[in-house]
Every structure is written in structure tokens, then in C-alpha cells.
Amino acid sequence: MAIDPEDRLICTSADSIEGQGPHSVAQPIAQTSLFTFDTFEALSAGLDDEYRNSVYTRGRNPTVQALEDKLAKLERGEACKVFASGMAAVSSVILGLAEKGDHIVFVNQVYGPTLELAEHLTRFGISYDYIPGGALADIEQALRAETRLIWLESPGTMLFELVDIESITELARERGVTTVMDNSWATPLFQKPITMGVDIVVHSCTKYLGGHSDLVAGAVIASDEVLEQIFYRAFLLNGAAVGPFDAWLTTRGLRTLPVRMEQHESGAVCVATYLQEHERVAHVFHPAVTGDRSLLDKQMDGTAGLFSFELKDADFAVIRSTLNALNVFRLGVSWGGFESLAISPNRGTNVENLEAAGIPLGLIRLSVGQEDVDSLIEDLEQALAR
């Protein structure tokens, strides 16, 4: 599908940053922990507004700020903060906004550690409900007077099902509930939740935005008012600030995000289509190949390289030997990099958890990287022939 020309300009544009010459096409890195001021009055004024001034890198840093500006523009949001990891972004949104007694509704297959965090927060009087699918009636039923957040993932983790974003944000607005979307999978190039009424977008920049499997970072995009609250109540105090160099690497990753996403998209659709016809495959979970086409056309501009498929024979020994037979696909966690990866949520010891979560036991997840698609298909062909 198509990438917005404006987004290509945002990704590839050179930005000069505060205090640096205007001619450096790649941003110089402000590799510094603190900033000095000519007068004590100027320092004091900076400290009065650490959200908007570079005083100390745990709060704000111009190299990080350059990345934040780009991500806010790409998501069509007002403001962005970049964090030391995706989970730092996730936890800061919740800790920055939720009060004791508040309730959160998680919708669709949500990233595992996000739900783990929710479970831990019950210790502090924050409760939650988890709805594995996206049915509006189920969400409506889960809402309470004290519901503060609806947390969405679309496509969801592992099964990549879409939820109807606009109908959910409409319901949330009626009930005065803030919506959050983890948009790591689609990236802002292929989905812009804020334009569909979502209040807050979070990202793991570790995945496609960085794109080279050489950094860990996260981001939150929201209105300036909401982000400032998250900044003072969580970001600055949790101390999960990203280092300037990792922010710089992420900005460098953005330069090639459009071309990488096009390659991830076409490669994954080819591999998924191949697998769908394979006699050993029961089902492919890919939004463009087997998903809800009308939702996809309505709310997405493209699809990414991460999807899963289910083996007919879900025996753990078969999963293990299939994964071990792969040569081009490497075995590893994470996704969104140049390298193709394979993993199964079934580790042989967690069958009960998978069944409770509605995850098929024969599931294998693939992250299609930047390699030649024929090499990837050949690799799967020989692994599935065993």
C-alpha cells in the first residue's frame, strides 16, 4: 500500500538542532548529561520548566528532542517524549495518568509484559480487565465508572487481529475514558491512531523505528498537556531517559523507515501467502493475507513484516525441530530489524498459559527482515520438508 509523501519528507529531512551549525546534514550528538547557563537566573528559569528546556539529559536533550519532533509529526500528534525502552514508555503512561482506585481495560492480544505490569499495579490499587478480542460489546461491558484507560493493540501481538479503532475511541469519548494505542507493529507510516481519535500512542522504537537491532528505546506521543503530566509524574522520576546516542541511532533509522517498511511488507505478504498454501500449515495470521480486509482498508495504509502461522501438528517436538532446521531465519526475541527471526510462544513448559491466552500451541512467529524473499521461502521449504 502507499506511504504518505509528507511522511517520507519527515523521515528523511535533515534537522539542525539548538546550538549547532545549520549545515550538518546528520545531527551532531549532544552527548552530555547537563547543560550550563551563563547566569544563575537563566539556570533557574530552565529548572522552572524542565519539560521545555534542556537542563539535564534525564529530562530533555536536544538530540533526543530532534527525534521527538519527528515522531510527533509522523503520528500527527502535538508532542512526543522518547524513553529508554518501549516498556519505559508503557509504564510511564500508566503511572503518569492512573490514580489509586482507577481501572484499565486492555483490548486485543496485548504485549505480554504490558499485562504483567498491570498485574503488578494491582498492588497499588489499580485494577484491570483484559479482553483478548476487540468486540465492542465486551469492551462496553468491562467499562466501569472508575475506568481511566482503554489500552489497545491493533494488530494485536501474536495473532495480529485488528480492532475497529474508531468505534472504540467513540465509545471511550462518550464515557470520558482516555485511549492508548501501542502502534509499534504498524509504525506511523502504516497507521495513525491519533487521526482516528486515539489520545496517546506508544512505541517500542527498538523494533521498526530503530530498525537495525542495535538499540532499545520507546516513545509516547500525546497532546502537550497529557505529555507534560506524564513527564512530571513519571518520566523525570522513573529516570528511564534514553541516551543521546541511541536517540541519534533511532533518527538515523527513520531515514530508511519508508523503504524498509515497503520491503518488510512485500516480503512478509509473499512468505505468508506461501505458507498459507503449505500442507503442514493449519492457519496463517497476517492482517493482509487472512485478516479483516475492510478494517485493514479503513484504518491502515500498509502492513508490516511480523506475522505468525500455526502448524497442523502442534506437538512441541515438531515445533522445536522445525525451528532448529531454519538457517536464514535466526532464532531470537524481538523483531523489526534487518534480520529475519523465528520464535514460538510454545516453549514446551507453558502450555496452560497459552491455552488460557487463546494462543494456538502450534504457533510460530516470523519477523521477515530485509533478505531476498526467495531465500526465506527456500529456508522454510526445507525446514518444513523434514
Catalytic positions, written as ranges: 58, 111, 182, 207
Q: Does 85 bind ligand PLP (CB under 6 A)?
A: yes
Name which position in 169, 187, 206, 263 contacts ligand PLP (CB under 6 A): 206
Q: Least Å distance between CB 342 and ligand PLP?
A: 16
Q: Does 86 bind ligand PLP (CB under 6 A)?
A: yes
Torsion of CA 64, 82, 11, 308, to 10 degrees: 150
- Exposed, middle or buried by CB within 10 Å (0-12, 13-18, 19+), for 355? exposed
Look at the block and give the residue holding cell 511488507.
265
Q: Does 210 bind ligand PLP (CB under 6 A)?
A: no
Report the residue number, 62 or 218, with the smaller CB distance to ligand PLP: 218
Other Cβ atoms closer than 10 A to 201: 29
Residues 29-68, mask of contacts with ligand PLP (x by CB under 6 A): ----------------------------------------
Q: Least Å distance between CB 206 and ligand PLP?
A: 4
Other Cβ atoms closer than 10 A to 239: 11
Q: Can you read off the three cell numbers belonging to residue 331?
A: 532464532
Q: Can you read off the three cell numbers belonging to residue 299?
A: 484504518
Q: What is the footprint of ligand PLP within residues 9-28 (CB under 6 A)? A: none
CA pseudo-torsion sign 204, 208, 212, 213: positive
Q: Does 157 bind ligand PLP (CB under 6 A)?
A: yes
What are the residues whose beta carbons fall under 8 Å from the beta carbon of 280, sequence distance 6 or more?
A: 311, 312, 313, 384
Name which position in 67, 72, 79, 87 contacts ligand PLP (CB under 6 A): 87
Report the residue number, 234 or 281, with the smaller CB distance to ligand PLP: 234
Q: Residue 337, Cα to own-chain centre: how many angstroms?
A: 13
Q: Give residue number: closest CB to ligand PLP.
A: 86
Name which position in 96, 132, 218, 360 contacts ligand PLP (CB under 6 A): 218
Q: Can you read off the three cell numbers belonging to residue 352?
A: 496452560
Name which position in 216, 257, 281, 368 contacts ligand PLP (CB under 6 A): 216
Name which position in 154, 184, 263, 322 contacts ligand PLP (CB under 6 A): 184
Helices (H), 99-235: 112-121, 136-142, 165-175, 187-190, 224-230
Among the candidate windows 12-20, 116-124, 172-180, 200-208, which touches ligand PLP by CB under 6 A?
200-208
| φ and ψ at residue 361, rounded to 5 degrees | -70, -25
Q: Does 182 bind ligand PLP (CB under 6 A)?
A: yes
Q: Can you read off the three cell numbers belonging to residue 226?
A: 497529557
- Residues of this chain that bind ligand PLP (CB under 6 A): 85-87, 111, 157, 182, 184, 204, 206-207, 216, 218
